[in-house]
Structure 1
Amino acid sequence: MNKPRTAIALVLALAVAVAQQHACSLASAAAGPRVIVVGAGMSGISAGKRLSEAGITDLLILEATDHIGGRMHKQNFAGINVEVGANWVEGVNGEKMNPIWPIVNSTLKLRNFRSDFDYLAQNVYKEDGGVYDEAYVQKRIERSDEVEDSGEKLSATLHPSGRDDLSILSMQRLNNHQPNGPSSPVDMVLDYFKYDYEFAEPPRVTSLQSTVPLATFSDFGDDVYFVADQRGYESVVYHLAGQYLKTDKSGNITDPRLQLNKVVREISYSRSGVTVKTEDSSVYQADYVIVSASVGVLQTDLIQFKPQLPTWKILAIYEFDMAVYTKIFVKFPKKFWPEGKGREFFLYASGRRGYYGVWQEFEKQYPGANVLLVTVTDDESRRIEQQSDNQTKAEIVEVLRSMFPGEDVPDATDILVPRWWSNRFYKGTFSNWPIGVNRYEYDQLRAPVGRVYFTGEHTSEHYNGYVHGAYLAGIDSADILINCAQKKLCKYQVQGKYD
């Protein structure tokens, strides 16, 4: 049964390589081709920096919004700047250095705080109020860890191509979490914290082989640091941009090669070049284009490709997942929640999985702000985006009054609900590697189509979904273009599906 699929895979792989070779054989011999970068998030800015370092400086960066940084974005809430998107440097204090960490901690010296999750067993709240017995919760945590350890051992035995991959839920079932995985309120919220809080999708859709163990933590260390600086985590992107784009004395980018509020709607490509059209009817021509739009955007019709992208490329885009991770900030007139060592993170063990389950208080990060953060994902995110903020505020206050029945829990005075899924420029927060997508589809996701190149955190082979993944993906994609434009090494190898 596999032989026809293997043959098709090899034909597709050859088609990609031949198309690339043909396109580049017609490329201009000039040392400095013109490149358009679509999107000024971390990947787009990182790619532009790499191109500039290679001497390709005839760049034009087209950004749909009024700012750079993309999903790294601060917003003022109740008098403080909070991060509506990326918030942590994930993977610190390991054998290798996370490339984002020295920029945050040493170069820019952004305020950051190590997140300590060691006290969760003391902070799991019952649906009808009060906390669960610490010893009981600790046993459930240890059981969850044992299951994950078994999953890690199983993952190591699977074929590197991904052909034998299974979902995390399937692995849990193998370890006697029958039939639907963890099902008690405590087990559900611990499971949600371990997987959904990291990947923004449930274990039933998440690939075991691509996430257990997770390369970010295996490579860079288990620690995570929460960035809480009024300059914003996005200042990392501004710092990188400032290394090749002109700025004024205040650090504002003044370089005409960066154009904001330019919504790309059409990319035409041929063997001789590319033409990019924006919503304001502007037309730009170049030798190459790098598209750093999210995989969620690529799954919509916001950007039309002419000719239509080949079937293998469309399928690779459609098979990957764009997850939704929603950080809801809520302000109160006074504090009623516990503070002190070991109290930063707390869980609500609802019988409804994923219902306002993971909480964080900001005693250290935003002292005196009286702000809580509750995180929801996936279907809950999409549900909440479609209701009013007042409805969400009412639901949150009801949950908190259930958790703290002995406290005087006042009405919230303010709420911030990011709507990433509804935003046509993002359509979610970050990619998640689903079951059924192996290294072959991943290679196709990143593969160029003629003179059209692709980048973004979703094209990072080992670190998709993370800031450092976006940063490294920009470098990798730029290198693929540089190899073709300057070295005439235009063959991009997509291995056969079961190689």
Structure 2
Amino acid sequence: MRSMEKSIMALLIVVIALSILLQGATAVETSPTVIVVGAGMSGISAAKTLVAAGIKNIIILEATNRIGGRICKTNFAGMSVEIGANWVEGVGGNEVNPIWKMVNKLKLRTFVSDYDNLTANTYKQVGGLYKKSEAQTAFGAADMRSEFSTNISVSMSAHRQEDISILTSQRLTNQVPYTPIDMAVDYYTYDYEFAEPPRVTSLQNGEPLPTFSNFGEDLYFVADPKGYETVVYYIAKQFLTTDADGVITDPRFKLNKVVTEIRQSRSGVIVKTEDGSIYRAAYVMVSVSIGVLQTNLINFHPDLPQWKILAIYQFDMAVYTKIFIKFPYKFWPTGNGTEFFLYAHEKRGYYTVWQQLERTYPGSNALLVTVTDDESRRIEQQPDSDTKKEIVEVLRNMFGKNIPEPTHILVPRWWSNRFYKGAFSNWPIGVSRFEYDQMRAPVGRVYFTGEHTSQQYNGYVHGAYLAGIDSAKIMIRCIKNKDCKYHAMPKGT
């Protein structure tokens, strides 16, 4: 009997051992090869590129409850508006913007933005419109400064000279903007594009801009009920399974997963999320914004090396805020040549750039005003009721005291949102291709992507899309060809 019991016991031990081994084997087999952190444009673009290369064993962890990241629609007074990226920038050139291709394929509703008539639509701080001749003088001076800055930038790049700010190049012309109208035109020229002022923006990045040089100078405003995020969904649905209604049901895609820790070793990575979940993989692709990387939301173990930390903190995460405001009726000019108008205030960037939305949202009685940088941060920290009062005061200075009170206001808060910490990256003074290579460079099994890793197109939707492809290709070389060395261009090249 005892020998039989021993035999049974031995058999049980063998069964248990085999069970453990099989469980371990299953865990290895089902463990994803790559974890992608973030389901914005770059993360989805990178994931699609990996799957297309045969690396289908992936998991996408998205902190929010949706795809799209900083491409985000919302309902405002019955309209579907974009609180994040809104334009396809760079259309009509020799090269075709890849985002423009997809927007047209998806038949999204777009409108070309025409800023040419701003000289007839620039308002004084108090007292209505400037004379057109006075505005033409201000815009002409801005064009001359911009042309001079472009020539300086091209010359400096050709001779590999150190970068300077756009403001420094303006000082070389002895024409630094200081009157309200000159500051308004300068704000429209630079801050409205880069979300930061010329004193911090790189000359060699800002003049000339590769987006417009390569893809064309036209800009198209997306105003479609389906949302600009449709482009991101279109890419995602090319490799993620959906149900009959087109809803993504792929088990590899997980929402509401806030990554808080990335731990790597020679054998792989472990990713932990805020809800206590733990995921294992061979590699991880981090697509969060540069603003998030500059916070402690994600802890890296071991710590990122000093060269990587220095690269991260050399970049700026700019804040760009589009405020929507609706009225019971229109009191501003409408029709051709009136879509955009400027407000010249003694405080630079104080509710400067306006867009009336009658063409894009007929009958909406709505305006869009853009603020950036310090004004964005200030406005995010005050009640919307205070912002509404400020806006109404500005509009009364432009259009008279008898305008009505607004019925709705929408103030996005990208800077305050811990999952974004801003709108997009800006290239500051002194950052070169070397720093971009450092920013994009993997650290062991941890790879990085995002619009901030695109040297030519940082800050743009097409930059995010192309960066995802580029970063994925670097990872693919490592996984498939065992070529895991990253070659950064030397400083100064």
Amino acid at match of 2:147: D
1:403 to 2:386 alignment? no
**Paired-residue identity, %:** 65
1:358 to 2:353 alignment? yes
Alpha-carbon offset, residue 408 of structure 1: 2.6
Note the alpha carbon deviations across 1:393-440, whole angstroms, 9 max, x for none.
Answer: 0100010001112x6311111100000000000000000000021221
The answer for unaligned runs of 5 or more in structure 1 is 1-29
Alpha-carbon offset, residue 161 of structure 1: 9.5
**Cα distance in 1 for residues equivalent to 2:472 and 2:108:** 28
Note the alpha carbon deviations across 1:30-70, whole angstroms, 9 max, x for none.
Answer: 9x971000000000000000001100000100000000100
Aligned 8 A contact 1:185 1:351 in 2? yes
Match of 2:249 in 1: 254
Match of 1:438 in 2: 432
Counterparts of residues 326-341 of structure 1 (less than 5 Å): 326-341=321-336
Match of 2:298 in 1: 303
Q: How many matched pairs? A: 464
Amino acid at match of 1:117: Y
TM norm structure 1:
0.92
Moved over 6 A (4+): none
Match of 2:447 in 1: 453
Amino acid at match of 2:487: Q
TM norm structure 2:
0.93
Match of 2:154 in 1: 156
Amino acid at match of 1:35: V
Counterparts of residues 269-280 of structure 1 (less than 5 Å): 269-280=264-275
From 101, 104, 122, the counterpart of 2:120: 122
Counterparts of residues 106-121 of structure 1 (less than 5 Å): 107-121=105-119
| Greater CA drift, 362-371 or 259-268 | 362-371
Match of 2:67 in 1: 68
Partner SS, residue 276 of structure 1: strand
**Cα distance in 1 for residues equivalent to 2:329 and 2:138:** 33
Aligned 8 A contact 2:377 2:415 in 1? yes
Partner SS, residue 209 of structure 1: helix
Aligned 8 A contact 1:33 1:485 in 2? no
From 375, 380, 388, the counterpart of 1:380: 375
**Cα distance in 1 for residues equivalent to 2:416 and 2:161:** 34
Counterparts of residues 94-493 of structure 1 (less than 5 Å): 94-105=93-104, 107-159=105-157, 164-177=162-175, 181-405=176-400, 408-493=402-487
Partner SS, residue 116 of structure 2: coil
Amino acid at match of 1:285: R
| Greater CA drift, 436-445 or 236-245 | 436-445
Match of 2:88 in 1: 89
Aligned 8 A contact 1:162 1:209 in 2? no
Aligned 8 A contact 2:432 2:492 in 1? no
Partner SS, residue 267 of structure 1: strand
> In 2 relative to 1, CA 160–34 (structure 1 residues): closer, same or farther, beyond 3 Å?
farther
Alpha-carbon offset, residue 496 of structure 1: 2.5
Alpha-carbon offset, residue 160 of structure 1: 6.2
The answer for unaligned runs of 5 or more in structure 2 is 1-28
Partner SS, residue 477 of structure 2: helix
Amino acid at match of 2:156: L
**Cα distance in 1 for residues equivalent to 2:156 and 2:443:** 31
Note the alpha carbon deviations across 1:180-239, whole angstroms, 9 max, x for none.
Answer: x20111100000000000000000000000121000000000000000000000000000
Alpha-carbon offset, residue 163 of structure 1: 5.3
Alpha-carbon offset, residue 495 of structure 1: 2.6
Alpha-carbon offset, residue 388 of structure 1: 0.1
The answer to which structure, 1 or 2, has the higher relative contact order (CA under 8 A, 6+ apart) is 1
Note the alpha carbon deviations across 1:429-462, whole angstroms, 9 max, x for none.
Answer: 0000000212211110010000000000000110
Aligned 8 A contact 1:162 1:438 in 2? no
Alpha-carbon offset, residue 139 of structure 1: 1.9
**Cα distance in 2 for residues equivalent to 1:159 and 1:227:** 35
Give the number of the structure whose alpha-carbon radius of gyration is greater. Answer: 2
**Cα distance in 2 for residues equivalent to 1:448 and 1:272:** 16
Partner SS, residue 334 of structure 2: coil
**Cα distance in 2 for residues equivalent to 1:33 and 1:453:** 15
Match of 1:40 in 2: 39
Aligned 8 A contact 1:246 1:255 in 2? yes
Alpha-carbon offset, residue 129 of structure 1: 2.4
**Cα distance in 2 for residues equivalent to 1:161 and 1:420:** 39
**Cα distance in 1 for residues equivalent to 2:489 and 2:225:** 46
Amino acid at match of 2:49: R
Alpha-carbon offset, residue 487 of structure 1: 1.1
Partner SS, residue 246 of structure 1: coil
Amino acid at match of 2:411: V
